């Protein structure tokens, strides 16, 4: 079992000095990865329903929060660490140009020695899409085309992509990722997200709980697409009852994420470096499962 620390670019860990201290502590203790989260802007008085809390509001309901750009934040951490992986959980892919994003991620992976994981999502905050100037409609289809386009840019010597919504090439995009690809982990709690993970994902992160029905849907979709379902890695948030971890492993869970701030949940397992160090025994207990 691998352990990650989420969502580091929120709360008190926005502070640059503390961000480095947290990432270095996580690396020293044995965390496999640190994770960021993404919103370009949070519109004031938005009406869209946040899907991960009963209040249907993001965090504590305030729109006025510091939330650094995840890729720039990860680049900052990459320069101060050597082996811990850096992940988005998630990046709202359809809000961005896939060509520019592929360039940024390819550069970051190359400069960090191949340590980048890309968690992706389609987004839920319609007002944010409006502010950015990107259509909220067809964001699922745009996400699929973005992934295919970025993979072409990362892998092909001369890349091109011709879809219904994205069209470019032939072009050179250098540097490419160390392994000519970046693992893509599909985030989301919906059947659509599970199906997308089964079709084209390297992993699946449902964000809340350990949904056996969605895991089964990922695997059946992968088989239907001629893929090995065991190649889709499951990531989940830490359970309230740690004794459930062995059973989660039997379901195919390979990574557990521990929160570092209240964003996306109420637990604060590791909100400062001392609390990160205190988790060493937990990691050692379950890492061999």
pLDDT tens, the chain, 289 aa long = 999 999 999 999 999 999 999 999 999 999 999 999 999 999 999 999 988 877 788 876 678 889 999 999 999 999 999 999 999 999 999 999 999 999 999 999 999 999 999 999 999 999 999 999 999 999 999 999 999 999 999 999 999 999 999 999 999 999 999 999 999 999 999 999 999 999 999 999 998 899 999 999 999 999 999 999 999 999 999 999 999 999 999 999 999 999 998 664 545 689 999 999 999 999 999 999 9
Contact 32, 256 (CB under 8 A): no
CA distances from 209 to 195, 206, 235, 236, 245 (A): 18, 7, 10, 7, 12
Domain range summary for the chain, segments of one domain joined by +: 2-286
CA 212 to chain centre: 20
Question: Using alpha carbons only, what angle is made at residue 213 by residues 207 and 182, rounded to the nearest 5 degrees?
Answer: 50
- CA dihedral for 107, 14, 123, 134, sign (positive or negative): negative
Neighbours of 284 (CB within 10 A): 11
What CATH superfamily classification does 2-286 receive? Luciferase-like domain (3.20.20.30)
Nearest to 88 by CA among 110, 65, 104: 104
Indicate the pTM of the whole model: 0.96
Nearest to 201 by CA among 119, 140, 145: 119
């Amino acid at each position: 079992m691998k352990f990650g620390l989420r969502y580091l670019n929120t709360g008190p860990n926005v502070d640059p000095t503390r961000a480095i201290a947290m990432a270095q502590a996580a690396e020293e203790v044995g965390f496999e990865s640190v994770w960021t989260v993404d919103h370009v802007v949070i519109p004031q008085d938005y009406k869209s329903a946040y899907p991960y809390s009963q209040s249907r509001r993001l965090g504590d309901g305030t729109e006025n929060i510091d939330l650094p750009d995840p890729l720039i934040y990860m680049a900052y951490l990459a320069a101060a660490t050597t082996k811990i992986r850096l992940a988005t959980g998630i990046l709202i892919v359809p809000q961005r140009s896939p060509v520019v994003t592929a360039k940024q991620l390819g550069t970051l992976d190359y400069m960090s020695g191949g340590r980048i994981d890309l968690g992706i999502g389609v987004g839920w905050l319609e007002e944010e899409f409006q502010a950015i100037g990107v259509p909220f409609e067809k964001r699922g289809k745009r996400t699929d085309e973005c992934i295919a386009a970025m993979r072409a840019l990362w892998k092909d010597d001369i890349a091109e992509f011709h879809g219904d919504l994205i069209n470019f090439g032939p072009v050179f995009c250098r540097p490419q990722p160390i392994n000519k690809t970046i693992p893509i982990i599909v985030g989301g709690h919906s059947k659509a997200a599970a199906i997308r993970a089964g079709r084209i994902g390297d992993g699946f992160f449902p964000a809340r709980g350990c949904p056996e029905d969605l895991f089964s849907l990922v695997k059946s979709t992968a088989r239907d697409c001629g893929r090995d379902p065991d190649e889709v890695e499951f990531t989940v948030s830490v359970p309230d009852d740690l004794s459930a971890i062995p059973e989660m492993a039997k379901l195919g869970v390979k990574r557990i994420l521990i929160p570092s701030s209240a964003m996306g949940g109420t637990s604060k397992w590791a909100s400062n470096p001392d609390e990160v160090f205190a988790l060493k025994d937990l990691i050692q207990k379950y890492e061999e499962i």
